[in-house]
Amino acid sequence: MGVEICVEGLTKSFGHQVIWQDVSLTLPAGEVSVMLGPSGTGKSVFLKSLVGLLKPERGSITIQGRDITKLREHDLYEVRKLFGVLFQDGALFGSMNLYDNIAFPLREHTRKSESEIRRIVLEKMDMVGLIGAEGKLPGEISGGMRKRAGLARALVLDPEIILFDEPDSGLDPVRVAYLNQLIVDLNAQIDATFLIVTHDIASARQVPDNIGLLFRRELVMFGPREQLLTSDEPVVRQFLNGRMRGPIGMAEEKDAAQVEQELAQIDDSAGVQEPAPRLLPGPGITRPPRWQAIARREAALHRKEVAGA
């Protein structure tokens, strides 16, 4: 079962450059959350802060009752055991075959026997659809397979929190669709807490339980998927619809008067689009009990939106 992550008043800077400030949100245990935002808004910096690789100037990150921003390195190492991370490129060792890449964390951080390691590695490879590719080198396989191998390696220590840093980067739309389904299926199977940083709007509409948006050094919104997808917040609407008119510009900053003029020219007479249906786990995969509560929550938000229209 996943664990809750509570972020309060988090601020991160590099020198005089503020990346984001006063970020507060709660990642619910066992749910899938997505963090969106224009390029350069510090989404990857946020992931690295959650796992303790970067230290914020202010604020707290509480996991299982411990504020990781105040932990000593030894205690932080223990908390990091809760995490699995899928990096953009899979971060595989080019000289190792897939089996040894996936087995690496078990050999490095546990005292398990090789027979037990083999059982775990093959189980995780099966979960991501890589059985039969154990002997292949990373350079011999496609980008999609490398992502899945990186995901299998992130799973071998049975983490309760999994962070995905732009898992769709470098993949074509078909492979992104397969990866999205894999993420939904894995969450239903292991019920860990997932946080995905992505630019892919289709993924953000279909995969998560919750969505957040970083813009202009702030967290604009974070909440249930339905709430964000039906929001009339200008920056949220602009980003989710991928249009040029709105607060987001090529260099991110726009003059306030220009933004106001552009927003006035947008034809929203058709109203807010019906949110795309959520991806469901594949055949034979049981949905966790929390899915019923989330479905009721989304239905209530939708009824409220329709009533206010």
pLDDT by residue for the chain (309 residues), tens only, comes to 689 999 999 999 999 999 999 999 999 999 999 999 888 888 999 999 999 999 999 999 999 999 999 999 999 988 999 999 998 776 899 999 999 999 999 999 999 999 999 999 999 999 999 999 999 999 999 888 999 999 999 999 999 999 999 998 888 899 899 999 999 999 999 989 999 999 888 899 999 999 999 998 899 999 999 898 999 888 888 888 878 877 877 655 544 444 455 445 555 544 445 567 788 888 888 776 776 666 666 666 666 656 665
Where does 5-82+159-223 sit in CATH, by number? 3.40.50.300
Sheet holding 218-224, edge to edge: 83-86, 161-165, 193-197, 32-36, 210-215, 218-224
Residue appearing with tokens 């604009």: 220
**102, 133 in Cβ contact below 8 A?**
no
**Residue 105 to residues 97, 111, 112, 118, 189, Cα–Cα distance (Å):** 14, 11, 11, 13, 21
The dihedrals phi and psi of 248, each to the nearest 5 degrees, come to: -85, 125
Instruction: Measure CA 217 to chain center.
Output: 19
Structure tokens at 30: 């066992």
Task: Tell me which residue of 194, 181, 192 sits closest to 279, measured CA to CA.
Answer: 181
Question: What is the structure's pLDDT at 37?
Answer: 86
Burial class (CB in 10 A: 0-12, 13-18, 19+), 186: buried
Q: Which amino acid is at 117?
A: I
How far is 230 from 233, CA to CA, in rounded Å? 9
How far is 130 from 14, CA to CA, in rounded Å? 40
Q: Which residues contact residue 257 at a Cβ distance below 8 angstroms, ignoring those fewer than 6 apart? A: none
Between strands 32-36 and 210-215, the pairing is parallel
How far is 220 from 233, CA to CA, in rounded Å? 9
Alpha carbons within 13 angstroms on the beta-carbon side of residue 161 total: 20
Q: Domain segments of the chain: what residues?
A: 5-82+159-223
Question: What is the structure's pLDDT at 259?
Answer: 41
What residues are paired with 18 via a beta bridge?
Answer: 13
Report the phi/psi class of residue 95: left, alpha or beta, with left for phi > 0 and alpha for psi in -120 to 50. alpha
**Residue 103 to residues 12, 39, 81, 123, Cα–Cα distance (Å):** 34, 34, 16, 11
**308, 223 in Cβ contact below 8 A?**
no
**Residue 197 to residues 67, 94, 98, 164, 226, Cα–Cα distance (Å):** 22, 25, 25, 6, 18
Between strands 193-197 and 161-165, the pairing is parallel
DSSP reduced 3-state for 1: coil
Question: What is the structure's pLDDT at 307?
Answer: 64
Question: What is the structure's pLDDT at 242?
Answer: 79
Question: What is the structure's pLDDT at 263?
Answer: 45
How far is 143 from 237, CA to CA, in rounded Å? 31
Question: What is the structure's pLDDT at 38?
Answer: 82
Question: What is the structure's pLDDT at 309?
Answer: 55
What's the whole-model pTM score?
A: 0.86
